[in-house]
Chain A
Amino acid sequence: DGGITQSPKYLFRKEGQNVTLSCEQNLNHDAMYWYRQDPGQGLRLIYYSQIVNDFQKGDIAEGYSVSREKKESFPLTVTSAQKNPTAFYLCASSMSGYIEQFFGPGTRLTVL
Chain B
Amino acid sequence: GQQVMQIPQYQHVQEGEDFTTYCNSSTTLSNIQWYKQRPGGHPVFLIQLVKSGEVKKQKRLTFQFGEAKKNSSLHITATQTTDVGTYFCAGGEWSGNTGKLIFGQGTTLQVKP
Contact = CB atoms under 8 A, between A and B. Distances in A.
Nearest to A105: B42
Interface in B71-113: 88, 90, 92, 97-106
A30 B31 CA distance: 20
Contacts of A41: 105
Q: How large is the interface on B (under 10, 10 to 19, 20 to 34, 35 or more residues)?
A: 20 to 34
Nearest to B89: A42
Nearest to A56: B98
Contacts of A48: 98-100
A98 B31 contact: yes
Contact of B1 (A59, A92, A100): A59
Contact of A58 (B42, B44, B92, B100): B100
User: Max chain A CB contacts within 10 Å: which of B42, B92, B102?
Assistant: B42
Contacts of B99: 31, 33, 48, 50, 94, 96-99, 101
Contacts of A44: 103
A44 B102 CA distance: 8
Interface residues of A, number: 28
Contacts of B1: 59
A40 B105 contact: yes
A98 B106 contact: no
A106 interface: yes
B48 A106 contact: no
Interface of A: 31, 33, 35, 40-45, 48, 50, 56, 58-59, 90, 92, 94, 96-106
